[in-house]
A and B are shown apart, each in its own frame.
Chain A
Amino acid sequence: MSTERFAREAGKYAAIAWLGARRALSERAAVAGRALFLAVILFIFGRVWATVLGPGGRVGAAGRDELIFYLAVTEWCLLSVPPLYLSIEGDVRSGDVASQMVRPVSYVGAQLADALGETALRMCVLGPTAALVAWWIAGGWPADPRGLWLALPLGLLASTLAVLSTAAIGVSAFWIVDTSPIYWIWQKLAFVLGGLMLPLELYPDWLRAAARFSPFPAMLWGPGRMAFGFAPGAALETLAELVVWGTLAALLLVWLARRARTRIALAGG
């Protein structure tokens, strides 16, 4: 593919992503709901950590403040991801997929671009919200706030990985009618193995070791633990993991999309 052609293709998807972001902006109620939920969860866990640790208590390198910011980062990553699997499933069920596949844009690519645009917007809204609410509840910034800057790019990559995963789940609707159960399982695995609320340091060794075989720690715990302090080494480790898992997810998605297209050509949708 020539550079010019590539630029044009990329331009199409960028435009779709931009539209996705603008659409999310107009659906204020949904984003506001997530922001409120984020604030509530941070508040509740602020209380949990305060009670569990007592004043000045620590878990390894993390005190109450750091743990609150940890949760802020993990929730920021997860809550920014829209339910892409639902819209793909809906298109497959209603048969809209067929009409969309006629256009000179890859259906899955378009859906992905749209979701990424929406995710980007949500991250812009939920990020500052999470930071401010965490700051208010913790009564200040974490001990070494430089880590939070590292959390930013990691969080963006982590959300991208999550979006790729939900896209793959959605595409499985071509074979399985109801993809919601798959999504729920994936989400719960992310909660537990990814250390959404409890950093992996708190896990029993066997569970922590098992979790490292899944993409979830890279997705949530990786960016989250940046709240514990400035650790460029750990950040690079997470970055590498995210790139590897992200590539795998992308390959899986491409493979599934191709199989789906064959299925439509044969079965007629």
Chain B
Amino acid sequence: MAAPIRGTLHFLRGLALMNLRSSLALRGAFWLQAGFMVLNNLAFFATWWLLFERFPQIGGWRIGDLLTLFGVVATGFGGSMVLAGGWRELARGIRDGELDSCLVQPKPVLLHLVGSRTVASGWGDLATGLGMLLVSGALEPAKLPATGVAVLASASVFTANGILVQSLAFWIDGMDALARQISEFTLTFSLYPRPLFSGGISFLLYTVLPAGFVGFVPAELVRAPSLALGAAALGAALFWIGLALFVFQRGLARYASGNRIGVRV
């Protein structure tokens, strides 16, 4: 059983290398995209910074807490865009039949599709995120393990949720625009302090749009590390990954039956 795993890891390393080379091949565009993403994130944070200048405390949160939240989400998001950027194009790829090339090759289809693309602006998010984590003190040796788990968990839930929603394209036509909107909303909600939301909305943010597990829980893990929080974060990540894999596999089976709208003979 070790050999297939080694083979897959070897393959994933190959994909990562190709993505890196691809980014570097478009050097000018790379710096532009990454650079402007940094500016983009800073401008977004600037609004919050202004607010915190006037009101030092919002729902028990201070600017340092927001910095941690942003840092975790941005780093996770950036990593996802860089290493697994293909998830955003999944619905379109399903619609356009781009799966076929991956299906005839002996490696896991989802990994292949998701790992075949990289989004250069993700490096900008990574840079901003890591910068914020540094400033908020989350990269100190004592905090590093918790921060690592938090970023991993956040990225996993976000990416898996994205894959899940995009996979609905196996059943629903015109899914690509909707899927992107859903992911955008999830990200938006994850960047706001948890105490803002309560009750019904809060429930929604831990289930349908798992913003709570993309933002709040991982950030809390860094702020006040505890085994319980770590378990919650990782548990959520595993759950969403499992769900995404399940939905994708079912979709693939449906694809193999060929019963789709607009199928080409």
Contact = CB atoms under 8 A, between A and B. Distances in A.
A binds B: yes
Interface of A: 29-30, 33, 36-37, 40-41, 43-44, 47-48, 51-52, 59, 178, 180-181, 184-185, 188-189, 191-192, 196-198, 202-204, 207
A41 B59 CA distance: 18
Interface residues of B, number: 31
Given A185-B39, A192-B47, A44 B177 contact: no
B235 interface: no
Given A185-B36, A188-B39, A40 B185 contact: yes
Among B44, B54, B177, B185, find the residue whose CB has the most chain A CB atoms closer than 10 A: B54
Contact of B40 (A37, A59, A184, A197): A184
Interface stretch (B190-198, B219-227, B252-260): B190-198
Nearest to B33: A181
A198 B59 contact: no
A188 B53 contact: no
B59 A202 contact: no
Given A36-B181, A198-B50, A48 B192 contact: yes
A132 to B, nearest CB: 19
B43 interface: yes
Interface string B171-213: 0001001100100110011001001110001000000000000
A206 to B, nearest CB: 12
B32 interface: yes
A29 B177 contact: yes
Contact of A52 (B50, B55, B174, B201): B55
B177 A202 contact: no
Contacts of A189: 43
A47 B205 CA distance: 14
Nearest to B188: A40
A47 B196 contact: yes
A253 B60 CA distance: 48
Interface of B: 29, 32-33, 35-36, 39-40, 43-44, 46-47, 50-51, 53-55, 58-59, 174, 177-178, 181, 184-185, 188-189, 192, 195-197, 201
Contacts of A178: 29, 32
Given A184-B39, A192-B46, A44 B58 contact: no
Contacts of A43: 201
Given A48-B58, A188-B40, 17 more contacts: A29-B177, A37-B184, A44-B188, A48-B192, A51-B58, A51-B59, A52-B55, A52-B58, A181-B36, A184-B40, A185-B39, A189-B43, A191-B47, A197-B47, A202-B51, A202-B54, A203-B50
Contacts of B188: 40-41, 44
Contacts of B43: 188-189, 191-192
A222 to B, nearest CB: 18
Nearest to B198: A47
Contacts of B174: 29
B172 to A, nearest CB: 13
B47 A198 contact: yes
Contact of A44 (B40, B50, B196): B196
Contacts of B51: 48, 52, 198, 202
A100 to B, nearest CB: 27
Nearest to A30: B177
A142 B132 CA distance: 37
Contacts of B178: 29
B54 to A, nearest CB: 5
A204 B32 contact: no
A264 B135 CA distance: 49
B181 A33 contact: yes
Contacts of A203: 50
Contacts of A29: 174, 177-178
21 contacts: A30-B177, A33-B177, A40-B188, A40-B189, A44-B188, A44-B189, A48-B51, A48-B192, A51-B196, A52-B51, A52-B55, A52-B58, A178-B32, A181-B33, A181-B35, A185-B39, A191-B47, A192-B43, A198-B47, A202-B54, A204-B53
Contacts of A47: 192, 196-197
A63 B81 CA distance: 40
A99 B55 CA distance: 56
B128 to A, nearest CB: 13
Nearest to B53: A204
A178 B30 CA distance: 12
Contacts of B177: 29-30, 33
A181 B30 CA distance: 12
Contacts of A196: 47
Among A47, A178, A180, A189, find the residue whose CB has the most chain B CB atoms closer than 10 A: A47
Contacts of A41: 188
Contacts of B39: 184-185, 188
